[in-house]
Amino acid sequence: MTREEKIAAARSQAWREALRKSMKAKDRTDLPRVRMNELDAEYRSHNREEVNQGLTAEQAVQEARRCLDCANPTCMTGCPVEISIPSFVKNIERGEFLEAAKVLKETSSLPAVCGRVCPQEKQCESQCFYVQKLGKPAVAIGYLERFAADYERESGQTILPEQAPKNGIKVAVVGSGPAGLSFAGDMAKYGYDVTVFEALHEIGGVLKYGIPEFRLPNAIVDCEIDNLRRMGVSFEKDIIIGKTLSLDDLKAQGFQGIFVASGAGLPNFMNIPGENLINIMSSNEYLTRVNLMDAANPESDTPVPFGKRVAVIGGGNTAMDSVRTARRLGAERAMIVYRRSEEEMPARLEEVKHAKEEGVEFMTLHNPVEYLGDEQGRVCQMRLQKMELGEPDASGRRRPVPIEGAIETVDVDIVIVSVGVSPNPLIPNSIPDLEISRKGTIVVDDNMRSSLPIIFAGGDIVRGGATVILAMGDGRRAAAAMHEQLKK
């Protein structure tokens, strides 16, 4: 069956047809979009509890009614893993929440994660009929995804996806972040014997070390990882492929396919004077200390500085995660310093909104040019160049241009640099024949196949810095292509 035929077959089931007829389209489109239940901003800015509280069953059913169950569901084209969106939404409308979760799991190994961290407003929801044709807010697909995944988990009736019989073929995954986990889930479904190798002491990659607890609780990630374990995926932590074990070692152990999803390692710095002063660090370091090492917990042996005035340089999601973390660690002034205007910010709208509600200051059109230190070498001030917007640049966004002579000096205790990352060099350096781009990413074809037939790659090691869902989409595509290659 083609994709279109599958969609049509699902849509023509009797219950779907009856459900569509049960309510007039006009009545559906008149319903307002549901609002996410959130913790109070003042309360939450002093703890690590999850900000979004999820929808109640009543809210979810009501929101699901808004979906018109389109014959041509454009929302699906906006999803990198092509979730059968109307199918799961309509199952929620008819109250079959477990069935909805099952639909999600057909294509996504981590629905509870995606429901929380995907930029739906730029993906599925941006393609929704409501946005495209009605000029109204999209169906809250992300909230509904989270609802179904959470409902299943909390019900204790988690059903594993159907798996093909074991074929005995061993495949290895390098890195246990979203790309690796998504690949592992799909290969387990195809019947492969999957081993995931992780360099750190925790499984989950950026979902653990990067995304904070208040946005994605570790317990949710662990639950999804446990599901993969139950499907037979094995995880080996504290092993660095290219260091502890070489490519040849993996081949000798009988692995017939290797998926490299080692992530974006190296944090970028701006190379401006004073950037190596004490208490200036990358967002990777700050978030790793707080999230992975639990450094804010007095029982943890890992230290992290607590500052009253914290500046985060950058305007992406990682910058928002960092500044909101700083606020929770007691910063009285938590500042975003971003060289463009708010309109160009790459962060999700929800993150910006939450940050503002939590008292984060936004210093847009400011760019640091120098840091000044005290007599002990700790940063104490930053010099900011004020900017204005000029003509659009290569990214299509208006280029920030310095306003001559407009320099501002601001007192700071901690500076967190969040201006992007470069690919981790460990794998590219350890496999000499692998084709690497000038930027240091692994070069792959449309099927995520590298220049070496045994190696596929995906996620940030290929993209150089993207989102959880794009990484998962890569994992899924690589799994399909590797399966095609190995079943021959």
Partner 1 sequence: MNKIVSKKDFSELVVQLEVEAPLIARARKAGHFVIVKLDKLGERIPLTISAADTEKGTITLVVQRVGLTSNKLCNMQVGDEIQDLVGPLGKATHIEHFGTVVCAGGGVGVAPLLPIVQAMKQAGNRVISVLAARSKNLIILEDEIRKWSDEVIIMTDDGSYGEKGLVTAGVESIIQREKVDCCVTIGPAIMMKFVSLLTAKYNVPTVASLNTIMVDGTGMCGGCRVSVGGQTKFVCVDGPEFDAHQVDWDGMMRRMGSYKAYEKEEMKKLG
Binding site for partner 1 (CB under 8 A): 199-201, 209, 237-240, 243-246, 263, 265-267, 269, 271, 275-279, 281-282, 284-285, 288-289, 293-294, 297, 299-303, 376-377, 424-426
**Structure tokens, 399:** 């280029």
The bridge status of strand 379-392 relative to strand 398-411 is antiparallel
Cβ closest to partner 1, residue 87 vs residue 325: 325
- Tally of CA atoms within 13 A in the half-sphere of 215 that contains its CB: 28
Cβ closest to partner 1, residue 188 vs residue 329: 329
Cβ closest to partner 1, residue 69 vs residue 202: 202
Q: How far apart are CA 470 and CA 16, in angstroms?
A: 30
Cβ closest to partner 1, residue 276 vs residue 437: 276
Cβ closest to partner 1, residue 101 vs residue 417: 417
Q: To the nearest whole angstrom, how small is the minimum distance from the Cβ of residue 280 to partner 1? A: 10
Q: What angle in degrees, to the nearest 10, is found between the helix axes of 85-93 and 97-107?
A: 170
The residues that bridge with 363 in the sheet, in sequence order, are 337
**Cα–Cα nearest to 392, from 343, 347, 348:** 343
**DSSP codes joined into one string, 33-89:** PP--EE--HHHHTTS-S-SEEE--HHHHHHHHHH----SS-GGGGG-TT---HHHHH
Cβ closest to partner 1, residue 107 vs residue 262: 262
Q: To the nearest whole angstrom, how small is the minimum distance from the Cβ of residue 285 to partner 1? A: 4
Cβ closest to partner 1, residue 210 vs residue 473: 210
Q: How far apart are CA 92 and CA 66, in angstroms?
A: 11
Q: How far apart are CA 18 and CA 26, in angstroms?
A: 17
Q: To the nearest whole angstrom, how small is the minimum distance from the Cβ of residue 51 to partner 1? A: 25
Q: How far apart are CA 331 and CA 412, in angstroms?
A: 10
Cβ closest to partner 1, residue 2 vs residue 271: 271
Cβ closest to partner 1, residue 303 vs residue 392: 303
Q: To the nearest whole angstrom, how small is the minimum distance from the Cβ of residue 222 to partner 1? A: 14
Q: To the nearest whole angstrom, how small is the minimum distance from the Cβ of residue 187 to partner 1? A: 24
What residues have CB less than 8 Å from 235, skipping those under 6 apart?
A: 176, 195, 196, 198, 203, 225, 229
Q: To the nearest whole angstrom, how small is the minimum distance from the Cβ of residue 302 to partner 1? A: 4
Q: To the nearest whole angstrom, how small is the minimum distance from the Cβ of residue 28 to partner 1? A: 47
Sheet with 170-174: list strands edge to edge. 234-236, 193-197, 170-174, 255-260, 455-457
Q: To the nearest whole angstrom, how small is the minimum distance from the Cβ of residue 300 to partner 1? A: 5
The bridge status of strand 193-197 relative to strand 234-236 is parallel
Could you tell me if 179 and 261 are in contact, meaning their C-beta atoms sit under 8 angstroms apart? yes
Q: To the nearest whole angstrom, how small is the minimum distance from the Cβ of residue 289 to partner 1? A: 6
Cβ closest to partner 1, residue 61 vs residue 200: 200
Q: Which amino acid is at 67?
A: C
Q: To the nearest whole angstrom, how small is the minimum distance from the Cβ of residue 455 to partner 1? A: 19
The most distant pair of C-alpha atoms in the chain lies apart, rounded to whole Å, by 76
Number of Cβ atoms within 10 Å of the Cβ of 383 = 17
